[in-house]
Chains A and B, each alone.
Chain A
Amino acid sequence: MKHHGSGSFCGRTRREFLWEAGGGFGAVGLSALLGDAFFARQAVAADGKSAYANPMTPRKPHTLPKARSVIYLFMYGGPSQVDTFDHKPKLYPLDGKTIAVKTFGRGGHKNVGRVVGPKWQFKPYGQSGKMVSDLFPHLGRCADDIAFVHSMYAESPIHGSGLLMMNSGRLLSGSPCLGSWVSYGLGSENENFPGFVVMLDKTGGPINGPKNWSCGYMPAAYQGVVIRADGTPIHDLDLPPGMSREAQRGLLDRLREKNEAHMAGHSDNSELAARIASYELAYRMQQHAPEAVDLSKESPTTRDLYGLDQPQTADFGRKCLLARRLVERGVRCIQIYSGGAHNDDNWDAHSDIVKNHTKHAGNTDKPIAGLIRDLKQRGLLDSTLIIWGGEFGRQPTAEYAQGTGRDHNAYGFTMWLAGGGIPGGVSLGQTDEMGNFAVEDRLHVRRIHATVLHQLGLDPNKLSFFHGGLDQRLVGVEGAEPIDQLIA
C-alpha cells in the first residue's frame, strides 16, 4: 500500500484534495487519504500528548519484516505437553506411582503427586526425526517446518489471568493484546477487512470473553473483530430486513450529499471527511468480506487438505482455510481458538486426558497440517507466522485421587511456531525428565511476543504506547528479546 508523505496529495493540500475529490471517495482508499496529520483538529491523542493519527494508516515497520501476517492458533484450556510434543520416555513406567514433584495448578501448590504416564506413543518424523505423539499424525509430517519450544513458562496457572498473560503480556486486565499491538504498529493493509480478527469455537468464547481480544487503553479501532467462518462473517455486515443493496446505495448517496453540504463551513475538521469516507468503506466491506469468506470456489483437493468434508475436522478446517484467505488479503493478525466455554469443551483435561485430548487434537490435527501445507505450496508460509499453544501446559501428575486428569502447569510447557522466517525442524529448550518444569533455555511468554513482533519488523522494546504516565509495551517495562535461536 502506497504511503503518501504527509502534507500534500500531488501538490495540493489535503483539504483541497478532499474538496476536489468530493463525490469520488469511493474510488480512493482510506489509507491513501488519511495521512498522519489528517486529523488536524484533534491535535493530540487521548493521552493529551501524542500527535493524533488515523489509527489504520499503514505504518512503516522498524526493520525489514520477515513476516507479513500472524496466525495464532490458541489451544484454549492448556494442552498437555507430555501427551503432545514433549516426549518423556521416563514418564511412562512411572504411571500410577506417587512421587515427589513440585507442582502449582488450580489445586494450589503440591509436593507429591500420582504420575499419569503419557497416554500416547511418540514416533519420529521427517528429516529432523522430531518425536511427535500419535495424537497428531498429520502435524507430525509437518515437523520439518516447525520450531518446537519446549521450555515455555508463564506466571499464572489459572485460566483467567493465564489467558490475559498469553494474549496481552500481563496478568492484569486492561492492556492491549498482541493483535492490537500489531495493528497499532503496522496499521492495516486491507481496508475492506479489519486488521485483527478472531475466530471462536462454536461452543463459545474463552474465559474472560472479549477481554482476550481487547485493545485495553488503546483506541477501539485496535480491538479484535470476531468473525465467523460460516454465515455472515462480520457482525452488522448484513443489510437490515427491508433494505436492498440498491436502496442502501441510494441512502448513502443522499447521506454523502448532506454530509458534504454540512462540511462546507468546517473545512478544517478532517474528522467529518473521515466519517464520510468511512461510510464508503463500510459499503465496500459488505461487498468484499463475504467474498473473502466464500469457500465454495476452493478446489476439492484444497477442501480435502483441510478436512472440510469430514464432520470432525470441518469446523476448524473452515477456520484454517479462511485464515489462509485472509492472509492472502493482507489481514495482519488472525487468532483462532480451538476449544471454548468451560471444562471439556476445551483442552482443560481435568478428569480424563484421553477423552479430552483425543477430541481436541482430532478436531485440529488435519486442519492445521493442511494450513501449513497449503501456505507452503502457495509460497505464503515464509511470510506467514503460525503460533500454536495454550495459556499454559499440564502437569505430569494426576489432579485427583482417581482418573487421568491433569491440572494446569505454568512451570513448563510447549508452544510451536512455523513459517514467517522461523527455521523448521528445530526443537528448543527442555523440561525436566517429568516434563514438569522448564530447565533449559527457559522462555517467558514475553519472548514469544517479542519474537512475533520482531518477525513482523517491529522492535519489541521500542513499540510503545503512552498511557498512565508510562511508555507501555507488550513486553512490559522490563522489555524482552526475541528468541535468538529462532530469528536467524
Chain B
Amino acid sequence: MGLRATTLALALGNALSLTAAEAPDALIGQVQPLLRQHCFKCHGEGEKLKAGLRLTSRAALLKGGDSGPAVNLAEPAKSQLLAMISYRDDRHQMPPSGKLPQGQIEILTRWVMAGAPWPEGDQPPAPAPTTRTTGGKVTAESRQYWAYQPLRRPPIPPVRNSAWVRTPVDAFILSKLEAAGLAPAPAAAKLALIRRVTYDLTGLPPSPEEVDAFVNDANPAAYEKVVDRLLLSPHYGEKWGRHWLDLVRYAETNGYERDGPKPFAWRYRDYVIKSFNTDKPFDRFLREQLAGDELARQWEPSSERTDAELADAVIATGYLRLGVWDDEPADPLQARYEEYDDIVATTAQVFLAMTVNCARCHDHKIDPITQADYYKLVAFFRDVPRYSNSRNVSSGSNLTDISPRALRAQYEAALKARERRTAEVAREMERIEDAAIKKMPAEDQRAAEGIDRPQVVAKLGKFFTPEQSAAYAKLKAEREALGKVPAPPQRELALSVNRCEVNPPQQHVLIRGNAHAPGAPVQPGYPEVLGVPAPVLTPAGPGAQSSGRRTVLADWMSSPAHSLTPRVWANRLWQFHFGRGIVASANDFGKFGTLPTHPELLDWLASELVQPTWRVGPQDRDAAAWRAKRMHRLLLLSSVYRMSAQADAAALARDASNQWLSRFPMRRLTAEELRDSLLMVSGRLNLKAGGPSIHPPIPREVLAGQSVPGQGWPTTTGTEADRRSVYVHVKRSLLVPILSQHDMADTDSSCAVRYTTVVPTQSLGMLNGTFANEMARAMAERLQREHPGEIARQVRRAIRLTTGRDPTPGEVSKDLAFLEMATGRPGASALEALRQYCLLTLNTNEFVYLE
C-alpha cells in the first residue's frame, strides 16, 4: 500500500516548511503525549493489539504491523502513519475516533520527516503475550498433527466376542467397548430397525406393509434385502442429496434487498440427487463441482461422452454459484473477495475439513495455515467471473447452454451474434434514456432506478432532443426485430460458471483481508503444511475458455492418496448414519475441532473408500472405489448399526454420552423428514421427482415480514404443493415455517451438523399451525375412507401409520375414550373428533423420534 506523491501535499499541509534545524528533543516532547493519548489504546503494550502494530518504540514503528512499517525512513513523506492520520479516504483513517486537529497532524508530520526521533533509552519492546504462537506456522511439529498424516490402512483389531462381528466396522467399535468394559446393546427389534434404516436411506417412514413383510420374513438375509431395496430406491438420492445440499449452503436466491432467484438452481439440486442415485464416485463428483465446465469442454469432441454427461458436469459448477451475492455492494472490489471467500471457505471445509477461511485476514490462530495459503487457494478460483455485473440475476457469467451438441450446432453461431447485438442495442437505448431521465422531476428519477423504470421510460418522449428521438426510435425498431426471432427450441440453460478468465490476474495476499491493500504476490498452491509439491500449471492454450486452474486443484483434492478428502467423506458417511461423526466437528479436522473417537476406524473406512476390499473381487476394485453405496452396505449391515437404542445401567454409567457407541443413538426426524412424514401419513405425499422448485403455502403472518409481502413466493397449489421437502424452493430471506422451526440447515454457510432444538414455538406450530391441522384432517379423511364407520380400526390404523407398530389393547381403549370425549363436545362431528385424534398422533414423540 504505497502512498502516492499526489497525496503527499494533503498529508503534509504547511508542514512542508519544516526546518531541518528543529530540535529533536522539542519534537519528542510533543509527540510522545500524542501517541500515548491517541494510539496506545490499540497500538500500545496492552493485551489488545490491532493490525499487529505497536508504536511504543522506534524499533516497533520501523518494524511496523500487518501492512508494513509505520514510518519509512528512506522516504518519510510516504510513511503509512502520515497517510493514516491524513484521513485521505475511507480506508486511511486513524485514529478511528476522528481526525486529529490540524496542529497535531503537523507535529506528527514534522516528527516523521525528521526521522522519527525517540527518547533516550528506547528499548525494543519485549515480545508481547500472544495467542498466535501455536497457529499460522508450519513447523516439523505441526506437520505431525494426525489429520495431515498419510492415510494408512490399520489392521482390523482382535476382539473377544468375535461372534458379534459382521463387518470389519464391528471389530473397531467392539474393541473399544471391550477396552472400556462395556458390552454392545442387544440387537434392535425388527420394527425399530426397519424404521431406522428406511428413514436413514430415504427420509420416509416404511409403510405398514413394508414393516409386515420384513417382520414376517424369517430369512436370515431379510435385512440385507431391505437395505438393498432401499439403496435402489429413487428416494435414496433425495435423502442423501439433502445431506450434500446442507454442506454446500444450497439456496436458490441471492439474499439481500431483492433476494432474487438464482436461475435454474434446481438443476444443481437434481444433479446432486441423481449423482447419489447413480452412485457416482465421489472423486468425480468433486471434480465436476469444482471444474465441470473444464471437463465438459474436454469431453465435448468425444463421442463416448453422452450429452447428459456434458450437461451434468456444467450443472455441477452451480456449486460455485450458490453463495449469497450482493447486487449493489458498498465496496464492489471487497464484494468480489466475499464471493471468493464463500467458495474457498466452503470448499476447504466441505472437502478437506480445513478452516482455511480463518486465515483470510491473518495467519490461522491455531492451525498451521498461513495467510498465504488462503490466497494461494483463492488464486485457483480467480478465473471465475463475478456472478453478474449488473443487478440482473441471470448473466452470461452464471448461465451456460447445456443443450445437446447436435442441437447447439444448429443455432449457436447465429444466436451468439444476435445476443451480442441485442446487448449493444439495449446499452445504447439505456444511454439515451439516462441522458433524458436527468431532466425529469425527482420522483421520476427515483422511480427510474427501480422496478418502475419502464413506466418512467414510457413518459420520456418529451425530454428527448430530436436527434435522440430519431436514434431511439431506430434502436427500438431493431430491438423489436431482434426479439421476434424465436428462441431456439428445447434450448436449456444451467446455473454454472461461464466466460471465465483465461489468464486470471495476479493474486496477492490481501493485508488484513482488505481488497484494497494488496501485499505479496502468490501463485495457486496447496496449504504448505500438507507437504505436497507445488502444482504444475500450464498456460491456457489457444481456444481455452478458462484458466484450467480449477481442474488442477480438483485433481489434487480427489487424489486417492490425499490425506484429507477420503477421511472427510468417510467421516460424513459415518456421521449421517450414526448421528455423530468419528470426528464430531465434521467440517473442522483442525485443532479447534474434536479428535476422532475411533481414529483407526476412520482410517480404515477412508482406506476402504478409496481402495475397496470388503466383498469386492479384485476385478471390480477400481470401479468400486469412491462409491457411497458399497460403504452404506458396509455400515448398515454391521452389528453396530443393528443395535438397540435402549441403554442399560452399565452403559449409562460408563458411556453416558454414548461416545463408544454402546447403544444406537436415537434421533429426531429432520425438518424435511417431519414434513414429508406428515404428508405421507395423511396420504397426501406427492412423490414426483425433480424439476423447478415448489412454493408451498406460507401463512400471511409470516409473509408480512417481507418488505413486499408475497414477493418471490408464487404459492404452489394442489397436489404439487404436497411434494417432498427437498423440492421446496429455498429462499434465503423467507423460509417455510415448519422447516425452519425444526432446524433446517442454515442457508448462508456450510452446515455440517444440524441442531436439534426443542422450543415451545415448535409445539405451537404442530398444535395450531395450518399445515399440521391440514395434515390431521387429510389423515382423518383417509382413515374414514379406509375403514368407514369402524372407529377402533381407524385408531389402530392411525397408530400403525405413525409408529409402524401394532397398538396394545390398553392403548386403543384409552384412545377410544379420548375420541368419545372429543365427539361428545358441543359441535364436534365424528370427523372433527377423528381429526383431533390424528393431530394427537402426529404430535407424539414416537412419531417424531427414531430409535
Does chain B have a CB within 8 A of A20?
A: no
Question: In the complex, what residues of B have CB within 8 A of residue A351's CB?
Answer: 442-443, 446
Interface residue from B99, B345, B767 paired with A468 (Cβ < 8 Å): B345
Does chain A have a CB within 8 A of B252?
A: no
Interface residue from A242, A257, A262 paired with B828 (Cβ < 8 Å): A242
Does chain B have a CB within 8 A of A420?
A: no
Known: A278-B763, A441-B97. A44 touches B446 (CB 8 A): no
A133-141, A263-271, A301-309, A370-378: which lies at the B interface?
A263-271
B473-481, B486-494, B704-712: which lies at the A interface?
B704-712
Does chain A have a CB within 8 A of B45?
A: no
Give the contacts of A194-234 with B (CB-CB under 8 A): 194, 200, 204-211, 216-217, 219-221, 223, 225-226, 228, 234
Question: In the complex, what residues of A have CB within 8 A of residue B759's CB?
Answer: 55-56, 220-221, 278
Does chain A have a CB within 8 A of B779?
A: no
Question: In the complex, what residues of A have CB within 8 A of residue B835's CB?
Answer: 242
Contact A172 B338 (CB under 8 A): yes
Does chain A have a CB within 8 A of B843?
A: yes
1/0 per residue B325-356: CB within 8 Å of A? 01011110000001000000100010000010
Contact A174 B442 (CB under 8 A): no
Contact A209 B734 (CB under 8 A): yes
Instruction: Name which residue of chain A comes closest to B326, CB basis.
Output: A161
Question: In the complex, what residues of B have CB within 8 A of residue A262's CB?
Answer: 844-846, 849
Contact B50 A478 (CB under 8 A): yes
Question: In the complex, what residues of B have CB within 8 A of residue A112's CB?
Answer: none
Least CB distance from A210 to B in Å reads 5
Does chain A have a CB within 8 A of B752?
A: yes
Does chain B have a CB within 8 A of A382?
A: no
Does chain A have a CB within 8 A of B761?
A: yes
Question: In the complex, what residues of B have CB within 8 A of residue A216's CB?
Answer: 746, 748
Contact A247 B836 (CB under 8 A): yes
Question: In the complex, what residues of A have CB within 8 A of residue B705's CB?
Answer: 200, 205, 209-210, 226
Contact B773 A240 (CB under 8 A): yes
Contact A174 B98 (CB under 8 A): no
Contact B349 A274 (CB under 8 A): no
Give the contacts of B245-269 with A (CB-CB under 8 A): 255-259
Question: In the complex, what residues of B have CB within 8 A of residue A228's CB?
Answer: 701
Most buried by B among A242, A261, A469: A469
Interface residue from A49, A279, A340 paired with B767 (Cβ < 8 Å): A279
Question: In the complex, what residues of A have CB within 8 A of residue B732's CB?
Answer: 173, 211
Q: Please, how many angstroms separate the alpha-carbon atoms of A257 and B768 in the complex?
A: 20
1/0 per residue A400-421: CB within 8 Å of B? 1111010000100000000000
Does chain B have a CB within 8 A of A87?
A: no
Contact B836 A208 (CB under 8 A): no
Interface residue from A208, A240, A402, A439 paired with B99 (Cβ < 8 Å): A439
Contact A48 B733 (CB under 8 A): no
Instruction: Name which residue of chain B comes closest to A43, CB basis.
Output: B657
Interface residue from B439, B707, B827 paired with A207 (Cβ < 8 Å): B707
Q: Please, how many angstroms separate the alpha-carbon atoms of A469 and B752 in the complex?
A: 12
Contact B48 A250 (CB under 8 A): no
Known: A242-B832, A268-B647, A468-B349. A439 touches B98 (CB 8 A): yes
Instruction: Name which residue of chain A comes closest to B325, CB basis.
Output: A173
Q: Please, how many angstroms separate the alpha-carbon atoms of A206 and B709 in the complex?
A: 10
Q: Please, how many angstroms separate the alpha-carbon atoms of A403 and B740 in the complex?
A: 45
Least CB distance from B771 to A in Å reads 10
Question: In the complex, what residues of B have CB within 8 A of residue A47's CB?
Answer: 585, 753
Contact B758 A275 (CB under 8 A): yes
Q: Please, how many angstroms separate the alpha-carbon atoms of A404 and B747 in the complex?
A: 40
Instruction: Name which residue of chain B comes closest to A51, CB basis.
Output: B657
A90-98, A150-158, A291-299, A312-320: which lies at the B interface?
A150-158
Interface residue from B442, B581, B704 paired with A401 (Cβ < 8 Å): B442
Contact B97 A442 (CB under 8 A): yes
Interface residue from B583, B593, B755, B761 paired with A236 (Cβ < 8 Å): B761
Contact B594 A48 (CB under 8 A): yes
Contact B749 A468 (CB under 8 A): yes
1/0 per residue B579-606: CB within 8 Å of A? 0110111111010111000000000000
Contact B330 A155 (CB under 8 A): yes
Contact A258 B844 (CB under 8 A): yes
Contact B758 A274 (CB under 8 A): yes
Question: In the complex, what residues of B have CB within 8 A of residue A275's CB?
Answer: 758, 763, 845, 848
Give the contacts of B738-778 with A (CB-CB under 8 A): 740-743, 746-765, 767-770, 773
Most buried by A among B442, B592, B840: B442
Q: Please, how many angstroms separate the alpha-carbon atoms of A13 and B706 in the complex?
A: 47
Total of A-B residue pairs, C-beta within 8 Å: 329
Does chain A have a CB within 8 A of B16?
A: no
Contact B702 A235 (CB under 8 A): yes
Q: Please, how many angstroms separate the alpha-carbon atoms of A244 and B824 in the complex?
A: 13
1/0 per residue A13-54: CB within 8 Å of B? 000000000000000001000000000111111111100001
Instruction: Name which residue of chain B comes closest to A343, CB basis.
Output: B446
Give the contacts of A140-187 with B (CB-CB under 8 A): 151, 155-162, 164, 171-174
Size class of the contact patch on chain B:
35 or more
Instruction: Name which residue of chain A comes closest to B652, CB basis.
Output: A268
Contact A443 B594 (CB under 8 A): no
Give the contacts of A416-464 with B (CB-CB under 8 A): 429, 438-444
Known: A174-B749, A219-B743, A402-B442. A208 touches B256 (CB 8 A): yes
Contact A403 B594 (CB under 8 A): no
Does chain B have a CB within 8 A of A63?
A: no
Q: Please, how many angstroms separate the alpha-carbon atoms of A411 and B658 in the complex?
A: 54
Does chain B have a CB within 8 A of A365?
A: no
Question: In the complex, what residues of A have CB within 8 A of residue B844's CB?
Answer: 255, 258-259, 262
Does chain A have a CB within 8 A of B821?
A: yes
Does chain A have a CB within 8 A of B441?
A: yes
Does chain B have a CB within 8 A of A243?
A: yes
Question: In the complex, what residues of B have CB within 8 A of residue A477's CB?
Answer: 361
Least CB distance from B569 to A in Å reads 16
Does chain B have a CB within 8 A of A254?
A: yes
Known: A55-B757, A220-B743, A275-B758. A470 touches B330 (CB 8 A): no
Known: A216-B746, A221-B757. A258 touches B846 (CB 8 A): yes
Does chain A have a CB within 8 A of B570?
A: no
Contact B442 A468 (CB under 8 A): no
Does chain A have a CB within 8 A of B666?
A: yes
1/0 per residue B444-467: CB within 8 Å of A? 011001100000000000000000
Question: In the complex, what residues of A have CB within 8 A of residue B768's CB?
Answer: 236-240, 243
Question: In the complex, what residues of B have CB within 8 A of residue A67's CB?
Answer: none
Contact B845 A208 (CB under 8 A): no
Q: Please, how many angstroms separate the alpha-carbon atoms of A200 and B828 in the complex?
A: 37
Contact A48 B846 (CB under 8 A): no
Instruction: Name which residue of chain A comes closest to B657, CB basis.
Output: A43
Does chain A have a CB within 8 A of B822?
A: yes
Q: Which residues of B contact A (CB under 8 A)?
A: 48, 50, 96-99, 255-259, 324, 326, 328-331, 338, 345, 349, 355, 357-358, 361, 438-439, 441-443, 445-446, 449-450, 580-581, 583-588, 590, 592-594, 645-647, 652, 656-659, 665-666, 668, 699, 701-702, 704-709, 732-735, 737, 740-743, 746-765, 767-770, 773, 811, 814-815, 818, 821-822, 825, 827-828, 832, 835-836, 839-840, 843-846, 848-849, 851
14 examples of A-B residue contacts, CB within 8 angstroms: A106-B328, A156-B329, A174-B746, A234-B764, A235-B702, A244-B825, A251-B836, A258-B811, A261-B811, A263-B845, A271-B756, A285-B760, A342-B450, A478-B50
| Top-8 shortest CB links A-B | A469-B355, A174-B748, A403-B442, A48-B585, A160-B257, A43-B657, A156-B330, A48-B584
Q: Which residues of A contact B (CB under 8 A)?
A: 30, 40-49, 54-56, 104, 106, 151, 155-162, 164, 171-174, 191, 194, 200, 204-211, 216-217, 219-221, 223, 225-226, 228, 234-240, 242-244, 246-248, 250-251, 254-255, 257-259, 261-263, 265-269, 271-272, 274-276, 278-279, 281-282, 285-286, 340-343, 350-352, 398-403, 405, 410, 429, 438-444, 466-470, 477-479
11 extra interchain contacts, Cβ-Cβ under 8 A, other than A200-B705, A237-B768? A162-B330, A221-B757, A223-B740, A226-B705, A237-B764, A282-B760, A285-B764, A351-B442, A440-B98, A468-B345, A469-B358
